[in-house]
């Protein structure tokens, strides 16, 4: 491996005395002289906000689209000082309800001005912020409220009913509900039956107005949030995140951006639409607040997200792959429908710019004429100001990443992190196409090593090092709340075991290739690493998503697939097959066609015979959270997948056997 991206801080070692072999410990070259020092005066998340209020009180902080005649219009803004004044009122009102430092405050709803204000009020008074996912069902909401012993919940007005469904069990702890808007009289009465106080937002702002509460001293070691991960199995785990975790992450990301000549400033603008209840968005917004920058909220319709982007004109755009896939598909459709001349011009410009970028040209210098004549339209379609696009939470398809790097006139980076690592741990670097399909080198605030996984034939000391990714540093969580047993499973000698299988690349970047526990045995004794296979078969352009299944009683694999609607309809038209999308998914020739495409990629990637898929079901309805098939970060819930598709899977095996 080349050392221009990494520095080795400890040699690897062969396994002995029952221990597994481990590869060398590496860190970012940007931390070769040590990790970034603590930022002076920054001991807590409250300090992140407080110092920005002092530094730039008049800067735009939080914006939302004003509704005019029932339609979203221009963004209207609150300054840092205006937000601070409201935060102080909310904090006093929380304290007047008897919630002290170390108490638990839930926040439930879509991202909004009120969400961030409630979070900052918790930060001010050392109260644990306990986010509830906007997409979670009542059963999980009840579990989190009871498990975390939440005393007060801030909730989006239309979600109040979801909180009331947790009664009576949650009322052992929950005493106050605060709406981001109004409180309907019948819901107020329902809450009062159980002894709860319900307040509208305006009522709550006045509640503590006649009382004075001193702000406690918030230490770096204090817990600031309990983030419940919506696991793919079992109950959610409460991840304890300290002030130090977030501050260390901010310092590392700041150092990384400076080292890449992409330093943030108070002029940066961010579109907040990814769930604030997820660590990815939480730390990004903390980073923007740290820089005195601006955060504008979307108006809630993912189909109109691009409209929000055009209105806000963000400079940095964060996304999960599903959103970027949607942008990619939309652009491809516009290209193909633009006629032969336009599509030919686009393809010539694309290939020319890509060739120059592959040779090492910076994206802004690779083809000025292509950018001006062709790609500027894409840039303007995304607001005109985006300079950095960051993808996280799941792998981004290589062809999508390459395409967006060329056409958006922005850096497109892929990152990797978990709730337990306080988000960002790896991030790819600008102007380096060798990192396509990887998550880049580590950020300059962690040490990383691979640990061998013999049962999956992954060797951390091989010429091509592969193994479980293990992380050490001050961004690591403080444990799972009330689950020391689970904490001890993943934390060994200060190293957090991610469960993800990584492969070091020669340029010092990391490629995620598998998941440690996503492995099963077929009846002939062959082990199948299913996530790796799904990543390979996911390269087929005509499918949007795939879930592969096998077990120890069967000798072959089957799969449920969400085909790409436009691609399948285009194939059907070219082959004289009629019917709507649902009918096409049932058509035997469509299944035969998709199976053929899967076989092509399987041969291309030199898969073993037992790794080929023998039977498929085409589902026109995308895997979703509503049917409990995906987590809020779009990871597949495999047990729930099997439960939902059990009859279909049995049918596939019967018909094929």
Tell me the per-residue pLDDT of 79-96, one tens digit each, with 9 for 90 and over.
999 999 999 999 999 999
Measure the CA–CA gap between 257 and 245, rounded to whole angstroms: 18
pLDDT tens per residue, range 174-221: 999 999 999 999 999 999 999 999 999 999 999 999 888 999 999 999
Evaluate if residue 558 carries a pLDDT over 70: yes
**pLDDT tens-digit profile of 16-57?**
777 889 999 999 999 999 999 888 889 999 999 999 999 999
> Virtual CA dihedral for 477, 481, 484, 485, nearest 10 degrees?
-100
What is the DSSP secondary structure assignment for residue 174, as one 8-state letter? Answer: -
- 51: nearest Cα among 229, 324, 247: 247
Tokens representing 188? 């107020």
Task: Examine the pLDDT at 523 and tell me if it is beyond 80.
Answer: no
Range among 171-180, 301-310, 620-629 rated most confident:
171-180
- pTM, rounded to two decimals: 0.83
Spatial distance between the Cα atoms of 290 and 265, rounded to a whole number of angstroms: 9
514: DSSP letter: E
| Mean pLDDT estimate for the chain | 92
Structure tokens at 92: 């006093």
Reported as a pLDDT band with limits 50, 70 and 90, residue 140 is confident
- At 135, the pLDDT band (50, 70, 90 cuts) reads low
């193994």: which residue's tokens? 467
What is the torsional sign of CA 288, 289, 291, 292?
Answer: positive
Range 634-639 average pLDDT: 82
- Distances in Å between the Cα of 643 and the Cα atoms of 259, 267, 553, 638 are 48, 49, 17, 9
Give buried/exposed letters for 200-227 (b at 16+ CB in 10 A, else e).
bbeebbebbeeeebeeeebebebbbbbb
The topology (CATH level 3) of 45-250 is: Rossmann fold (3.40.50)
CB 546 within 8 A of CB 627: no
Asked whether 30 and 259 are in contact (CB, 8 A), the reply is yes
Token readout for 580 is 């709507």
Does the pLDDT at position 405 exceed 70? Answer: yes
Domain ranges in the chain are 45-250, 315-515, 519-656
* pLDDT for the residue 631: 80
Range 539-545, long-range pairs (CB < 8 A, 24+ positions): 539/397, 539/398, 539/399, 539/601, 540/594, 540/597, 540/598, 540/600, 540/601, 541/399, 541/567, 542/567, 542/568, 542/571, 542/594, 542/597, 543/594, 543/597, 544/325, 544/622, 545/622, 545/623
- From CA 461, how far away is CA 449, in angstroms rounded? 11
Q: Of 1, 99, 15, 113, which is closest to residue 65 (Cα–Cα)?
A: 113
DSSP string, 39-95: PTT--SHHHHHHHHHHH-TTSEEEEEEEEETTEEEEEEEEEHHHHHHHHHHHHHHHH
For residue 164, the model assigns a pLDDT of 95
How many Cβ atoms from other residues are within 10 Å of residue 599's Cβ? 14
Distance between CA 522 and CA 560 in Å, rounded?
Answer: 18
pLDDT, position 52: 98
Q: With beta carbons less than 8 A apart as the criterion, state whether 335 and 343 touch.
A: yes
Q: What is the pLDDT of residue 522?
A: 82
Q: Is 3.40.50.12780 the CATH classification of the domain at 315-515? A: yes
Residue matched to tokens 């009330």:
482
Contact 113, 64 (CB under 8 A): yes
Sheet arrangement for strand 294-297 = 71-79, 60-68, 294-297, 269-272, 316-319, 388-391, 411-418, 423-427
> What proportion of the chain, given as a percentage, has pLDDT over 90?
73
d(CA 120, CA 218): 13
Residues 6+ apart with CB under 8 A from 159: 108, 109, 134
Q: Do domains 45-250 and 315-515 have the same CATH topology?
A: yes
- Please report the beta strands in 97-190, taking only residues with DSSP state E, as ranges in sequence order: 104-108, 128-132, 152-155, 176-179
Question: What is the DSSP secondary-structure string of 358-419?
Answer: HTT--HHHH-HHHIIIIIHHHHHHTTS---EEEE-SSPPPHHHHHHHHHHSSSEEEEEEEEG
Cα 557 to Cα 550: distance, rounded to the nearest angstrom = 5
Main-chain dihedrals φ then ψ at residue 274, nearest 5 degrees: -65, 150
Q: Please check the confidence at residue 392 and state whether its pLDDT lies above 70.
A: yes
Q: Are strands 495-504 and 510-515 parallel, antiparallel or unpaired?
A: antiparallel
Write a three-state SS string for 228-276. Answer: EECCCCCCCEEEEEEHHHHHHHHHHHHHHHHHCCCCCCCCCEEEECCCC
Nearest residue to 540 (alpha-carbon basis) of 434, 636, 613: 613
Q: How far is CA 136 from CA 105, 115, 628, in A?
A: 17, 17, 9
Residue 369 tokens read as 């004429």
Average pLDDT score over residue span 616-638: 88
CA atoms within 13 A on the CB side of 68: 7
How much is the pLDDT for 233? 55
Q: Is 544 helix (H, G, I), strand (E, B) or coil?
A: strand
392: tokens are 């996280």
Q: Please tell me the predicted confidence (pLDDT) of residue 393.
A: 81
Please tell me the CATH superfamily of domain 519-656, with its number. Answer: ANL, C-terminal domain (3.30.300.30)
Q: pLDDT category, 128, cuts 50, 70, 90?
A: very high
Structure tokens at 526: 């062959």
pLDDT for 138: 59
The distance of Cα 204 from the centroid of its chain, to the nearest Å, equals 32
3-state secondary structure of 131: strand
Once rounded to an integer, what is the mean pLDDT over residues 347-367?
Answer: 91
Q: Cα angle at 78 between 73 and 84, to 5 degrees?
A: 155
């Amino acid at each position: 491996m080349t050392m221009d991206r990494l520095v080795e801080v400890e040699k690897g070692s062969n396994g002995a005395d029952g221990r597994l072999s481990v590869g060398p410990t590496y860190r970012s070259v940007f931390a070769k002289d040590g990790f970034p020092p603590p930022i002076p005066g920054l001991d807590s998340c409250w300090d992140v906000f407080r110092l920005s209020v002092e530094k730039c009180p008049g800067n735009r902080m939080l914006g939302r689209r004003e509704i005019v005649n029932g339609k979203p219009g221009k963004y209207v803004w609150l300054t840092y000082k205006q937000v601070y004044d409201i935060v102080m009122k909310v904090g006093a009102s929380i304290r007047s309800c008897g919630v002290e430092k170390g108490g638990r405050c839930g926040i439930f709803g879509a991202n909004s001005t009120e969400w961030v204000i409630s979070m900052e009020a918790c930060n001010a008074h050392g109260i644990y912020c306990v986010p509830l996912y906007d997409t979670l069902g009542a059963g999980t909401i009840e579990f989190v409220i009871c498990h975390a012993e939440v005393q007060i919940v801030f909730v989006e007005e239309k979600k109040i009913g979801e909180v009331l469904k947790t009664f009576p069990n949650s009322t052992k702890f929950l005493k106050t509900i605060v709406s981001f808007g109004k409180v309907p009289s019948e819901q107020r009465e329902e809450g009062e039956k159980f002894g709860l106080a319900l307040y509208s937002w305006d009522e709550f702002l006045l509640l503590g107005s006649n009382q004075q509460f001193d702000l406690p001293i918030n230490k770096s070691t204090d817990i600031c949030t309990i983030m419940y991960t919506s696991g793919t199995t079992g109950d959610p785990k409460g991840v304890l995140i300290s002030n130090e975790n977030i501050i260390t992450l901010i310092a590392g990301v700041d150092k990384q951006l400076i080292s890449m000549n992409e330093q943030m400033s108070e002029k940066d603008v961010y579109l907040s639409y990814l769930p604030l209840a997820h660590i990815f968005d939480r730390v990004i917004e903390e980073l923007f607040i740290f820089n005195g920058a601006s955060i504008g909220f979307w108006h809630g319709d993912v189909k109109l997200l691009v409209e929000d982007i055009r209105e806000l004109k963000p400079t940095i755009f964060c996304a999960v792959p599903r959103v970027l896939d949607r942008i990619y598909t939309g652009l491809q459709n516009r290209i193909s429908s633009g006629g032969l001349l336009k599509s030919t011009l686009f393809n010539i410009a694309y290939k020319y710019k890509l060739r120059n970028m592959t040779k090492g040209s910076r994206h802004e210098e690779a083809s000025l004429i292509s950018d001006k004549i062709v790609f500027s339209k894409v840039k303007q379609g995304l607001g005109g100001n985006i300079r950095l696009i960051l993808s996280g939470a799941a792998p981004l398809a290589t062809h999508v990443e390459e395409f967006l790097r060329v056409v958006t006139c922005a850096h497109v980076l892929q990152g990797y992190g978990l709730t337990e690592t306080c988000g960002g741990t790896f991030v790819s670097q600008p102007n380096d196409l060798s990192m396509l399909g990887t998550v880049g080198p580590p950020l300059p605030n962690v040490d990383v090593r691979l640990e061998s996984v013999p049962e999956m034939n992954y060797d951390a000391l091989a010429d091509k090092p592969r193994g479980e990714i293990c992380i050490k540093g001050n961004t690591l969580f403080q444990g799972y709340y009330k689950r020391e047993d689970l904490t001890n499973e993943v934390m060994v000698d200060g190293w957090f075991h991610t469960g993800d299988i990584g492969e070091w690349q020669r340029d010092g970047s990391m490629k995620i290739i598998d998941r440690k526990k996503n492995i099963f045995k077929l009846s002939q004794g062959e082990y199948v690493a299913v996530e790796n296979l799904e990543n390979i078969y996911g390269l087929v352009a005509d499918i949007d998503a795939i879930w592969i299944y096998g077990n120890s009683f069967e000798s072959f694999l089957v799969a449920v697939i969400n085909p790409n609607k436009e691609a399948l309809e285009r194939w059907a038209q070219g082959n004289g097959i009629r019917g709507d999308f649902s009918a096409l998914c049932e058509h035997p020739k469509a299944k035969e066609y998709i199976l053929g495409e899967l076989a092509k990629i399987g041969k291309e990637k030199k898969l073993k015979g037992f790794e080929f898929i023998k039977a498929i079901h085409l589902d026109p309805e995308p895997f979703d959270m509503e049917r409990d098939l995906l987590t809020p970060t779009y990871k597949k819930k495999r047990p729930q997948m099997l439960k939902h598709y059990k009859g279909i899977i049995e049918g596939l095996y019967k018909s094929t056997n």
